[in-house]
Copies of this chain bind each other. A is one copy, B any other.
Amino acid sequence: MTTQTKQFCYWHPHPAVTTDIVIFTIRDEKLQLLLIRRRNPPFQGGWALPGGFLNMNEDLADCAKRELEEETGIKNVYLEQLYTFGKHDRDPRERVISVAYYALIPSDRLTLHPASDATEAGWFAYDELPELAFDHREITRTAHERLVAKLDYSTIAFQFLPKQFTLSELQDVYETIRSEPMDKRNFRKWITARNLIEATGNERRNGSHRPAQLFRTKRPGRVEIIR
């Protein structure tokens, strides 16, 4: 290969820009995230966050959405910019700036598109991650911190649940992400006082016990700041 064929030339050096996405879901009562096995060096065969290079005609957020859909087949889920990682030596090939995003997948939308066809992908419990390529361990840690923090002051927890859910399921989301149990009565008092959810009138019966009321959020899709 000669430099003649490198056709994108600039007066000043430019870094490459990628988006990497931490895709969270709750599976098997655990907070899990999606990893991709790398098919090329560096870190060939190792696990990494899904991500890819920014196209020149797409907004940053669209790039993240595109990657998300390519890897999961899922659209229209909660996606938020996390942080931009830009240490000069974070990629051994060339200078790469990674704008990290995180996404939350509701548990009922997992089975539809199990994974991407081409690449090997897998869900991993956040507590049992394998070694990750590049600085992706730092990225996942930052995403987890953000997620835990946002539980307290936003309605982000609903993004893990289907449109209708029981209060026990909602409490499970909080407990799973925080890794600590909560008092059932206090949790219900707290969440109902916030005026965020309403009973649908339906109930769910699964198992030989009292059926649970189903609730929905009053403003679905929106993640709001609460206090």
- Chain A contacts to B: CB under 8 angstroms: 3, 5-17, 53-54, 56-61, 81, 83-88, 95, 97, 99
Say whether, besides A57-B88, A84-B81, A9 and B3 are in contact (CB < 8 Å): yes
Top 9 nearest A-B pairs (CB, nearest first) are A60-B86, A14-B14, A6-B9, A9-B9, A8-B13, A84-B84, A13-B56, A8-B10, A84-B99
CB distance from A116 to the nearest CB of B (A): 21
Contact B7 A9 (CB under 8 A): yes
Name the B residues within 8 Å of A9 (CB-CB).
3, 5-10
CB distance from A94 to the nearest CB of B (A): 8
Query: Can you list 18 A-B contacts with CB-CB less than 8 angstroms, sorted by A residue number?
Result: A3-B9, A8-B9, A8-B10, A9-B9, A12-B53, A13-B56, A14-B16, A15-B17, A15-B54, A17-B17, A17-B97, A54-B86, A56-B95, A57-B88, A59-B87, A60-B84, A81-B84, A84-B99
Copies in the complex: 2
Say whether, besides A57-B88, A60-B97, A84-B99, A14 and B17 are in contact (CB < 8 Å): yes
Task: Name the residue on B nearest A84 (C-beta).
Answer: B84
Set B6, B54, B85: member contacting A10, Cβ < 8 A: B6
Name the B residues within 8 Å of A83 (CB-CB).
81
Given the complex of chains A and B, what is the CA–CA distance between A12 and B1 in angstroms? 13
Name the B residues within 8 Å of A56 (CB-CB).
13, 15, 88, 95
Name the B residues within 8 Å of A7 (CB-CB).
9, 11
Name the B residues within 8 Å of A13 (CB-CB).
8, 56
Given the complex of chains A and B, what is the CA–CA distance between A57 and B15 in angstroms? 10
Given the complex of chains A and B, what is the CA–CA distance between A87 and B15 in angstroms? 17
Say whether, besides A56-B95, A59-B87, A60-B84, A6 and B14 are in contact (CB < 8 Å): no
Task: Name the residue on B nearest A94 (C-beta).
Answer: B10
